[in-house]
Structure 1
Amino acid sequence: MNLVSIRIITAHIESMISFYEQITGIAALHYTPDFAELKTATTTLAIGSTRTLQFFGGESVAQPAENRSAIIEFLVDDVDKEFDRLRTVLSSHIVQEPTTMPWGNKSLLFRDPDGNLVNYFTPVTKESVEKFTGKQ
């Protein structure tokens, strides 16, 4: 089994696509006006409008801007550099400036336009670096 994508459902598809293109530097692939994907080396972030919910059984199956349990995480080379690059873009969305966590990652937490929590992180301890380089 392989996790291949995470899909965000939103009522504001264009602003969400634009936000994720800006923070990742990845151009979204627009398949329809209601669906786009940002592909990384390891997974895909899909963004669908609420209109796509009709294909999954109706609007009650997912509610946009209601997530309070999942964190969308991106492994980045240098979280401090990313924070400097995105500081003005994220100024009103910052939850936590770069902070070293007890498990060895330095994390920057912020919210996307729908309020979803996003974590940019860089492994900084020996154990954490080894975990993400496959040298365990």
Structure 2
Amino acid sequence: MNFVSIRIITDDIRRLVRFYEQVTGIAVTMFTEDFGELATPACTLAIGSTRTLALFGSDIARPADNHTAIIEFRVDDVDAEYRRLAEVIGDALVQAPTTMPWGNRSLLFRDPDGNLVNFFTPVTPEAIRKFDK
């Protein structure tokens, strides 16, 4: 088995696509006006409009209602990313770069739908080894 993606459902796909393109610097490939993917070497962030829910046969997800998942991106220098994105993040900042007990330096903020996003850089020898496999 291989974990390949996570999908966010949104009422405003264009706004969310612009946001993720801006914060990651990666272009989202739009397959339809209602579905796109931001592909990284490790995983894909899929973004779908609420209109895609009808394809699953029911109202199975609610946009802008996530209270448990955190979308995480490993970055080379979380402090540099924070300086680059401070104005973009603005009031959506949850936590400025902080070194966590498990060895990652972490920047936590919310996307326009309120989903938590974590940019992190491994900084301890153990964390670096873990991610350099």
Structure 1 gap segments, 5+ residues each: none
The runs of 4+ residues in structure 1 deviating greater than 2 Å are: none
- Could you tell me which residue of structure 2 aligns to residue 32 of structure 1? 32
* 1:96 aligned partner, one-letter code: Q
| Cα drift, residue 58 of structure 1 | 1.8
| Cα drift, residue 121 of structure 1 | 0.3
SS in 1 for 2:91: coil
Q: Structure 2: how far apart are the matches of 1:57 and 1:99?
A: 43
| Cα drift, residue 16 of structure 1 | 0.3
Q: Structure 1: how far apart are the matches of 2:18 and 2:78?
A: 21
Q: For each residue in 1:39-92, what CA deviation from the matched residue of structure 2 results, as whole angstroms up to 9, or x when unmatched?
A: 001111000000000011222x00000100000000000000000110100011
Identity of aligned residues (%): 64
SS in 1 for 2:41: coil
Q: Structure 1: how far apart are the matches of 2:17 and 2:70?
A: 17
Count of aligned residue pairs for this structure pair? 133
* 2:127 aligned partner, one-letter code: S
- Could you tell me which residue of structure 2 aligns to residue 15 of structure 1? 15
- Could you tell me which residue of structure 2 aligns to residue 68 of structure 1? 67
SS in 1 for 2:119: strand
Map residues 1-136 of structure 1 onto 2, 5 A cutoff: 1-59=1-59, 61-134=60-133
* 1:29 aligned partner, one-letter code: T
* 2:97 aligned partner, one-letter code: P
Q: Structure 1: how far apart are the matches of 2:33 and 2:115?
A: 22
| Cα drift, residue 131 of structure 1 | 0.5
* 2:111 aligned partner, one-letter code: D
RMSD: 0.6
